[in-house]
Structure formats: structure tokens, C-alpha cells
Amino acid sequence: MNTDTTKYIADKLKNKRVMNGLTQLQLAKKADMNPNAYAKIERGERRANTDTLEKICRALKVKSSDILPF
């Protein structure tokens, strides 16, 4: 599952989360999602659909263009 794009997004999410001083658990709660599901996305083990990415971006207060490679 760890394609280049998936890895890129996972790395960006982790970087933005750390820059915001949030744990994975805190971000998952802000995004109203399961903490294990978020952790898998951040490790590149799971792809997030557009709805999930939108929730994560809102929780991080970033634009999708800050996360997506295109």
C-alpha cells in the first residue's frame, strides 16, 4: 500500500501534526475519527478518502494543497 503518493501524504500529515504540537490521538479527536485509522494513514498503511482528508486538513487548519502532491 505504501506508494510514493501515499508516503508523501503520510509524511506531510505527520509533519503538519508535529508542527501543530498535536499527538496522533489529539488530531484524531479533532478530526472526529478513529485514532488507529489516523495512525495507519500517517504511517502510509492506509489511504484516506477525500472526506477523511478534508476532516484531517480542517483539524490541522491547512489547505489540501499543503498536503497533496498535485
CATH number of the domain that 54 lies in? Answer: 1.10.260.40
Predicted local confidence at residue 1, as pLDDT:
60
| Inside any domain, residue 48 | yes
Q: Is the separation of the CB atoms in 58 and 33 below 8 Å? A: no
| Inside any domain, residue 67 | no
pLDDT tens-digit readout, 9-64: 999 999 999 999 999 999 999 999 999 999 999 999 999 999 999 999 999 999 99
The model carries a pTM of 0.91
| Inside any domain, residue 41 | yes
Greatest Cα-to-Cα distance within the chain, rounded to the nearest angstrom: 28
Structural domain containing residue 50? 4-62
Q: Please list, in sequence order, all residues whose beta carbon lies within 8 angstroms of the beta carbon of residue 42, skipping any fewer than 6 positions away.
A: 10, 13, 14, 17, 24
| Inside any domain, residue 30 | yes
Mean pLDDT for the stretch of residues 5-9: 95
